[in-house]
Structure 1
Amino acid sequence: MFATCWSTPRRCFVERGYAAVAIDDIVSTVGCSRATFYPHFTGKLEVLQKIGAETMAQRAVAVSAELDEVLATGSRAAFTRWMRGAVAWFEENQAILPAWDEAVALEPELRAIAKRAVGELPAAMPRYLERWGSQRRAEAHLRIELLVSQLERFFTRWAVQGTITSTADETAQVLSDIGFPALRPPH
């Protein structure tokens, strides 16, 4: 029942945020009872994780692998195209991301998962890490984590809060100006 209609509980989180959604909200919008809900889920966090797993986790590793390929080319233009794709993904998922961020802030279990996921991104970038060498591997990891954080924070201010005014193309260009040189290993 739940797996075939993720859009309904997703809409609850989009409209109300993570903290404001109760199990009763989810079961009433799906059209079931708590007795039907609990054999499938431990709570609303697990529901959001099922929704977010498709949105977040699967995409993160693929995006990092793409970035590894792009950086191997040494092409700033390719990096800008990659950045445009990243901005487009944030735009496509704009509605659910605030609830996801709220859940990460409120739920220690999800925070640990999110931290582990960000920490694993460099593993999808073996060529990038190799160019930094073993002695500077921690720095290379940090640079990737900072790029991800910068993208997330920018998106929050741009698309969620509306405190930054820019087009997607302008954004991709400026973020490329900042990110491309920062990710290049020293000679």
Structure 2
Amino acid sequence: MTLRDRQKQQTRRSLLECAKTLFVERGYAAVTIDDITAATGCSRATFYLHFSGKPDILQKIGAETMAQRAVAVYADLDEVLGSGSPAEFTRWMRRAVAWFEANQDILPAWDEAVALEPDFKAIARQAVAELPAAMPRYLASWGPGRRHEAHLRIELLVSQLERFFTRWAVQGTIESTADEAAVVLSDIWFPALVPPERRKSAQHFA
């Protein structure tokens, strides 16, 4: 790698880090490209060498977080559902809530961009749609004829977890401990994710 290549990489990293800091501190709408370039010490032309605009740089910031979610949260869920144990599912739910707590800083900016940027809706939709790919055992358990339904159930789970976390931890409009929420969410979602023909046998693992 040449010196110029290393400098370009460093500039890109700096833009990503400064943009993330500004989005967390001010929110998505309040931050301009000029704010990001001023914080980084580069020009708008340099910014556009790396990113097409604000939605693009937020997508790149979120890409690593979303990839971590697929591996750390939903691949884990694939194993848990394979066990057929409601108790294991409740423990998974606690870990999922903990993941959201650890990554909560950037989530409000992500939600704001979805509301404000028409192009960003497709980005957010794709990020959710890709999560079932981390769950091959779960998808197989529903059979090829019900694969779409299996995908939809995971997408609805993701949506409810995100909305719960936003109202609970970010907005403070839901009063609950993490453990209480994990138990109730598990009561709702464990039966919804187990194929009907397996639900009766799954009760033996409770």
The CA deviation string for residues 106-144 of structure 1, in whole angstroms up to 9 with x for no partner, is: 223321122123223223222212222233322222211
| Per-residue CA distance 1:141-181 (angstroms, 9 max, x = gap) | 22111111110110111011110011112111111111111
The answer on 1:90 being equivalent to 2:82 is: no
Q: Given the alignment, which residue of 45, 52, 55 partners 1:42?
A: 52
CA distance in 1, matches of 2:60, 2:149: 33
What code does the residue aligned with 2:182 have? A
Q: Write 1 or 2 for the structure with the bigger share of helix.
A: 2
Task: Give the letter for the 2:140 counterpart.
Answer: E
Gaps of 5+ in 1: none
CA apart distance, 1:79: 1.1
Residues 12-64 of structure 1: per-residue CA shift (max 9 Å, x gap):
11122111110111111122222332222222222212211111234225522
How many residues align? The count is: 187
What is the match of residue 140 of structure 2? 130
Corresponding position of 1:166: 176
Q: Is the 8 A contact 2:14 2:40 kept in 1?
A: no
> RMSD value over aligned CA atoms?
1.8
Q: Could you say which structure has the larger radius of gyration?
A: 2
For each residue in 1:76-117, what CA deviation from the matched residue of structure 2 results, as whole angstroms up to 9, or x when unmatched? Answer: 222122111110111112221010111122223321122123
Give the equivalent residue in structure 2 for 1:59: 69
The worse-fitting range, judged by mean Cα deviation, of 124-133 and 56-65 is 56-65
Match of 1:185 in 2: 195
| 1:17 corresponding residue in structure 2 | 27
Which runs of 5 or more structure 2 residues have no equivalent in the other structure?
1-10, 198-206
TM-score, with normalisation over the residues of structure 1? 0.90
Partner of 2:164: 154
